[in-house]
Copies of this chain bind each other. A is one copy, B any other.
Amino acid sequence: MRGIRQLAKHLDISIGTVSRALNGKPDVNEETRKRVLAAAEELGYVANQSGRSLRQGTTNVIGLMIESSKETVENADNFFLGLTGGLQSVLSRHKLDLIMLPCPNDEDPQEYLKRMVTRRVVDALIISATQRIDKRIDFLAKAKIPFVALGRSSSGGNYSWIDLDFEGVAASAVDRLVAKGHRRIAIAVPSTDVNLGYIFLDAYRSALERHGIAYDPALVIRAKSSEQGGYQAGDELIRLDPRPTAIILIYELMAIGLYRRMVEAGIVPGRDLAVIGFREEPRARFLQPTLTCFRMSLRDLGAELAETLLATMPAYADFYPGGARNTIWPLELVAGESDAFSLDS
């Protein structure tokens, strides 16, 4: 990698002149400027922005921390890639770049985050997959590193977060099913300690109570958030006696595995079992019967995440007034055939 010193030496021009030419300063004549730019291209000159950022204390890079777990990978989850377009559309207004920080699945997320912060590759962070108690939040707050969390946590403090409207989804799903005559409604929640599982389950419980249906822990199926998890949830479901007549899934791709297990058992989704999925997913479009699910724009969510983050960064707060804020991100029901039938009572 050639720096400005080698470039100046090669051209036999002072470093100051080369620097002014590269930075487009007016006090360099046009011919010299062209010579410098041509040599920079030819020699593979690369500006050392690391020196610049050390002086300014900024990198102009924003990090999106994701967990590259086996489940995420096997299920080809497009969620995070889906956010990048929206994030970049906002960050690019301020000449900021986005990088993704994939936490290895055998490493503690907090330790990983600390190391990446120490490496100083980013000015600010978006963290995801928040745990019920998430030490990353305290760490970032103490270290005064601007961040926004995608997902709530019980960890305290006045920090910015955006989370999906799990309450709205659970309530809407229970309401629909009860209206069709269902009373034994199962729910599949994550087997991990991710906070969204708690929120979703609480909301399901409240919605049942609103309809005067007693909460039955036996109908809560803990499963991996994957197609395989959906298959296993289906397996558990058919062994419940009496069998639930409906199931709500926390993760859209579970529906594929669930459908498969139902077909094997001679149970027809949308006729013998009502199914409501979570987020609308291109792949779930191919399911027969079509899945009732909830729509959201990942691009818009990405843009909102970026604006929320910038609002907490002193250099950009003027553009995005309001400071730290918390947003519940709405999802819109997409009615399918999977829960269209009414239960014979």
- B99–A85 touching, CB < 8 Å: no
List residues of chain B with CB within 8 A of the CB of A97: 115-116, 119
Question: Which residues of B are found within 8 Å of A139, using beta-carbon distances?
Answer: 44
What 0/1 pattern do residues 256 to 277 of A give for CB contact below 8 A with B? Answer: 1100100000000000000000
User: Which of A72-80, A149-157, A176-184, A235-243 has 4 or more CB atoms under 8 Å from chain B?
Assistant: A72-80
Please judge, given known A-B contacts A88-B104, A104-B85, whether A119 and B77 are in contact too, CB under 8 Å.
no
A1 within 8 A of B: yes
Q: A100 an interface residue at 8 Å Cβ cutoff?
A: yes
Q: Are A283 and B227 in contact (CB under 8 A)?
A: yes
- Contact present for B84 and A102 (CB under 8 Å): yes
Minimum CB–CB distance from A203 to chain B (whole Å) comes to 26
Please, how many angstroms separate the alpha-carbon atoms of A256 and B286 in the complex?
Answer: 8
Known: A99-B100, A105-B85. A77 touches B78 (CB 8 A): yes
| Chain B residues whose CB sits within 8 angstroms of the CB of A48 once the complex forms | 120
Instruction: Tell me the chain A residues, 82-126 only, with Cβ under 8 Å from chain B.
Output: 82, 84-85, 88, 92, 97-102, 104-105, 115-121
A47 at the A/B interface (Cβ < 8 Å)?
yes
Q: Are A68 and B84 in contact (CB under 8 A)?
A: yes
- In the complex, which residues of chain B have a beta carbon less than 8 angstroms from the beta carbon of A218? none
Question: With a CB–CB cut-off of 8 A, which chain B residues contact A143?
Answer: 1-2, 44-46
Q: Which residues of B contact A298 (CB under 8 A)?
A: 73
Question: How many interface residues does A have (CB within 8 Å)?
Answer: 63
B1 engages A145 (CB within 8 Å): yes
Partner of A119, one of B59, B68, B117: B59
Q: How long is the Cα–Cα vector from A257 to B282 in the complex, in angstroms?
A: 11
In this assembly, does A54 line the interface, its C-beta being within 8 Å of a C-beta of chain B? yes
| A267, chain B: closest CB distance, angstroms | 17
A81-B72, A144-B2 known; A47 and B102 CB under 8 Å?
no
A46 and B118 CA atoms in complex are apart in Å by 6
Q: Which residues of B contact A282 (CB under 8 A)?
A: 74-76, 227
Proximity string of chain A (35-53) to chain B, C-beta cutoff 8 Å, 1 when within and 0 when not = 0000000111111111101
A42 to B139, alpha carbons, bound, how many Å? 9
Q: Is the CB of A317 closer than 8 A to any CB of chain B?
A: no
What residues of chain A have their CB less than 8 Å away from a CB belonging to chain B? 1-2, 42-51, 53-54, 59-61, 63, 68, 70, 72-78, 81-82, 84-85, 88, 92, 97-102, 104-105, 115-121, 139, 141-145, 227, 256-257, 260, 281-283, 286, 298
- Known A-B contacts: A46-B118, A59-B119. Give 15 more (CB < 8 A): A1-B144, A44-B141, A53-B119, A61-B119, A68-B84, A73-B82, A73-B85, A73-B298, A75-B78, A76-B282, A85-B105, A99-B121, A121-B121, A227-B282, A283-B283
